[in-house]
Amino acid sequence: MLAKLFNHNKIWVALLSTGVSLGVTAKEQTEEPEMEIIEVSPRGIISYVSASAAKNSVPVVETPVSVSVLTEKRIEDLGAETIQDALGFVAGVYNGPFGVDTRGDWAQIRGVAPLTYQDGLQTLFGNYNNTRANPYMLEQIEILKGPSSVLYGQGSTGGIINLVTKRPKAETAGELWAQVGNYDRVQLAGDVTGAIDEDATLLYRLTGLYRDSETQTDFVKDDSYFISPALSWYITDDTRLTLLTNFQKNETGSSTQFFPHVGTRLPAPNGQIPSERFVSEPGYDRYDVKQSTITVLLEQQLTDNLELNWSSRYSDSDAEYRSMFGYPFALVEDRYISRAIFMSDNSAESFTSDLQLRWAFDTGSLSHNLSSGLDYQQATLDTDRLFLVSAGGLLDIYNPEYGKVPTAFPSDDDIPDSPSNKQRQLGFYVQDSIKWNRWVLSLAMRQDWVKSEPGSPTQQSVSDDATTGRAGLMYAFDNGLSPYISYAQSFAPQLDTANGVALDPLKGDQIELGIKYQPAGTSHLITAAVYDITEKNKPYTDPLGNTSLTGEVEIRGFELEAQLEWEQVDVYASYAYTDTEKVKDTLGAQGGRLEAMPDNMLSVWATWRPADLLPGFKVGAGYRFVGETSDGSAEVVLNGVQVNTPLTTESYDLYDFMIGYEIGAFDLSLNVDNLEDETVITSCLFRGDCFYGQRRTITGNVKYRF
């Protein structure tokens, strides 16, 4: 499979080969030198350590897998308003494949939607029943690419996104943040931390945010608030207990309008459908979610080389979702949308836990960093929904008149009460990172037991178990080059929550070749990788929420990412080529690319801080190129006549900008995304709908730090 990728990208293979040859000529040492592990660059922009790659704080250059890390400072420079925004410059990640969606953060990693974790524990179960996490509550975002089931159990073949929550610190510090922007955006936030007692054995942190805002979609707001108190208690010198809490409420609606192909990607007699057009009814459309989470982290140093870590979270959330959208996805008489009414009351209650031992020891000339653990998760999902085709009547998409629904709106009592679905998973894992001279061998194995209970008395519970593994080999040369090869597997149980049906588990495997480069004496970090993924039992959900399996998919790609930092300039650049192919689907058909994944992506962000010329001044600029995407269908020819041609989106490029000035305790900045206010279509799906990307977004910020 890799040979096919190489044929597509000979220039990148040549680059990769050149890097390896440079490393081979370097002088090899017979003994491994002692190296100081630096976690972040001098200004805190680049992180060299990721906890997600090995469930341990292992340097990125010593992990034979692809991982990208976004620091709090990087997220701030980018002016990211959402986690989805923050992912826009990461190699191999397509952020916002389904346009601007205030209901949640969406991304494709290597062509596949990732699972989201927070502090190493899965945080999202089911659909449309959780609040949207805010970047302000985080100190780091970690993107682990490729299969990761060996450590995390449930994980897609594309990878996972791990959100790292802000922790209490001993040094007293704080900030107040005021933000205004277009779409009537007003936001206030604050973050303060420090020690409660003189001995700094009890630490606190309090983070909170309030936002009142409209969006680029008419009549859709994006209001939110959260408060996150946290405590850390050093019970002894070797024992620390941390409590992280978050209480959040989001009030928004459906900013995504599911517009038809004609009028967006395809020409229409009456022209392009405006990107701000609202299909639902003002005052009716809403997606209101509230969520409470409590996370407990225990760190116990048993001996100098043995550590026990336990993390556990309880989460409870409720969502009230009311909307109308055009279905079927087509214009009626070239200008009208036939609206369906959608209502749902969703809830999710979950408990997740991970108990882990970390042991560092030597056996002869081999140095081991062993991690083993037992994790458990249980989620109860209640999804009550009502879908009424054409009940919302016709709406003139070019000249809408709201309030003319032909029949009375259904009431909350009309929503059918569906039984709850339960998912349980127990997993045991072990990983050993073995170092000998400059060789690093990583071996991992995991066993999972999963039980899905659809909840309906007419449907039986389904139990699955799976064994997954990962192996990687890396060599670190004197000149900073570290080539590697790795193989990994993934496993994820699947449940059609809308219909209470357990599906076959999603399975995948990947082989990856890569290079990591951290030049000595610099702050730079450069990574490159080629990979080949096979995924089986890929799910597909239609507009009515019904889920089916498409069969087998092959994904091949190349990724290059460079994080460079000098005294006054830092650069974040990436390129990704992704080639996807449906080998077969449930009907036995072949061909077609995966939907909503660009074939090429290129991005560059640079920030200049001329401390010697103008202290405190900063200016940044970004460029993003996104190649064409496919609707996911295949070319179909019957009796010599082509009856289907995949619909592709047009490639586009966007420019971002930041300018700011730091004076004393104040930090002033202006951020602009999509500087030229381009109207772009991020993807179109074979089912019939297309999605508009983010229009120009402007925010002005004032931060006071103390």
Q: How confident is the model at residue 42 (pLDDT cuts 50, 70, 90)?
A: confident
Query: What does the longest C-alpha to C-alpha distance in the chain come to?
Result: 83
d(CA 530, CA 560): 9
Q: How confident is the model at residue 20 (pLDDT cuts 50, 70, 90)?
A: very low
Kindly give, in sequence order, each residue whose CB lies less than 8 Å from that of residue 609, ignoring residues fewer than 6 positions away. 43, 568, 569, 617, 618
Query: Which pLDDT value is given to residue 589?
Result: 53
Q: How confident is the model at residue 7 (pLDDT cuts 50, 70, 90)?
A: very low
Query: Which pLDDT value is given to residue 492?
Result: 80
How far CA 26 is from CA of 21, 482, 609, in Å, comes to 9, 12, 35
Query: Which pLDDT value is given to residue 11?
Result: 34
The DSSP output letter for 65 is S
d(CA 601, CA 581): 18
How many of the other CB atoms lie within 10 Å of CB of 65?
Answer: 26
The H-assigned helical ranges of 265-342 are none
The dihedrals phi and psi of 152, each to the nearest 5 degrees, come to -110, -5
pLDDT above 80: residue 499: no
d(CA 690, CA 683): 6
For 17, how many CA atoms within 13 A lie in the half-sphere containing its CB?
Answer: 7
Mean pLDDT of the chain: 89
pLDDT above 80: residue 495: no
The DSSP output letter for 8 is H
| Residue 81 CA, distance from chain mean position | 14
Q: How confident is the model at residue 644 (pLDDT cuts 50, 70, 90)?
A: confident
Query: Which pLDDT value is given to residue 37?
Result: 54
pLDDT tens for each residue of 650-659: 999 999 999 9
How far CA 607 is from CA of 142, 204, 523, 621, in Å, comes to 21, 33, 15, 7
Question: Among the listed ranges 58-67, 392-401, 468-477, 518-527, which one has the minimum average pLDDT value?
Answer: 58-67
CB of 287 within 8 A of CB of 95?
A: no
Strands 336-363 and 306-332: antiparallel
3-state class (DSSP) for residue 76: helix
d(CA 559, CA 573): 11
CB of 89 within 8 A of CB of 622?
A: yes
d(CA 389, CA 74): 45
**What is the edge-to-edge ordering of all strands in the sheet holding 689-692?**
259-260, 689-692, 681-684
d(CA 544, CA 561): 39
CB of 605 within 8 A of CB of 78?
A: yes
Question: Among the listed ranges 16-25, 170-179, 592-601, which one has the minimum average pLDDT value?
Answer: 16-25
Strands 481-496 and 462-475: antiparallel
For the chain, how big is the Rg over CA atoms in Å? 25
The model's pTM is 0.91
Residue range 152-171: mean pLDDT, rounded: 90
Identify the CA nearest to 154 among candidates 477, 450, 472, 549.
450
Q: Which residue has the higher pLDDT, 36 or 118?
A: 118
d(CA 512, CA 556): 10
Query: Which pLDDT value is given to residue 54?
Result: 63
Q: DSSP letter string over 603-665?
A: EEEEEE--TTTSTTEEEEEEEEEE---B-S---EEETTEEEE---BPPPEEEEEEEEEEEETT
Q: How confident is the model at residue 546 (pLDDT cuts 50, 70, 90)?
A: low
Kindly give, in sequence order, each residue whose CB lies less than 8 Å from that of residue 34, ignoring residues fewer than 6 positions away. none
Q: How confident is the model at residue 440 (pLDDT cuts 50, 70, 90)?
A: very high
Residue 274 CB-density burial (10 A; 0-12 exposed, 13-18 middle, 19+ buried): middle
Query: Which pLDDT value is given to residue 24?
Result: 37
Q: Can you name the residues that pair with 353 across neighbouring β-strands? A: 312, 376
Query: Which pLDDT value is given to residue 409?
Result: 84
Identify the CA nearest to 133 among candidates 145, 122, 118.
118
**Tokens, residue 289:** 């979610």
Residue 521 CB-density burial (10 A; 0-12 exposed, 13-18 middle, 19+ buried): exposed
Q: Is the dihedral of CA 7, 10, 13, 18 positive or negative?
A: positive
pLDDT above 50: residue 82: yes
Strands 666-673 and 336-363: unpaired
pLDDT above 70: residue 241: yes
